[in-house]
Copies of this chain bind each other. A is one copy, B any other.
Amino acid sequence: MRPSQRAATDLRPVRITRRYTRHAEGSVLIEMGDTKVLCTASIEETVPPFLKGRGEGWITAEYGMLPRSTHTRSRREAAQGKQSGRTQEIQRLIGRSLRAVVDLKALGERQITLDCDVLQADGGTRCASITGAFVALHDAISTLLADGRLSVNPIRDHVAAVSVGLYQGVAVLDLDYPEDSGCDTDMNVVMTGRGGLVEIQGTAEGEPFSRAQLDLLTDLAQSGISRLIELQKAALAA
């Protein structure tokens, strides 16, 4: 039995709120149960130095947790003077995941930065960030299409992410914090709307996992991501 009483194949309640703040070109609050992440998309008409003059755009991401988004207060990274390895790992993952579904040439020489800031954490923040950031990115690109800066949509597909894991020997979907900290294997999967795999990151926290378990977990992730992408579509249609 999962601590949350959910069935093994249940997602937590998901809520996607667009235009959550007003300045960003895309601003989405995504809630997966008690996990709440604010994802904003900011357009800048410039690209990083390594892309200058190549006619291509760039999508990048930054990630942060408010100090008291967690059960006990974490130190503020700005005050510590550096981002942790975990933070950097997550923001690199978010950036790669979004770039996988955008035609950077079609985006033109501009950059979109996705800021994913965790207001409240209860497990699965990196996956929620990817799923929410896609919607914010979509909104930002809509403004580029609306004001004529883009004529062709560079977004090629949806992308969303979910965590799966082996909790007390059972494959479960969308781990919350009690499951995440108690599970044997934890896997984050990023997939597109067409079912292609973009990222798969599985880690055995305790015992190694088998090929059969890898298959089971991937199946479970796939079903969860399909539902998340439907929820993205519903939010974008609203």
Contact = CB atoms under 8 A, between A and B. Distances in A.
A150 interface: no
A68 B42 contact: yes
A196 to B, nearest CB: 2
B76 A62 contact: yes
A56 interface: no
A80 B117 CA distance: 16
A119 B85 contact: no
A117 B222 CA distance: 36
A170 interface: no
A contacts with B: majority SS: mixed
Nearest to A84: B88
Nearest to A75: B62
A44 interface: yes
A202 B204 contact: no
A89 interface: yes
Interface stretch (A9-17, A47-55, A141-149, A209-217): A209-217
Given A100-B204, A115-B76, A208-B194, A120 B21 contact: yes
Given A78-B64, A88-B85, A42 B214 contact: no
A232 interface: no
Which 3 A-B pairs rank lowest in CB-CB distance, beginning with the nearest? A196-B208, A85-B88, A77-B78
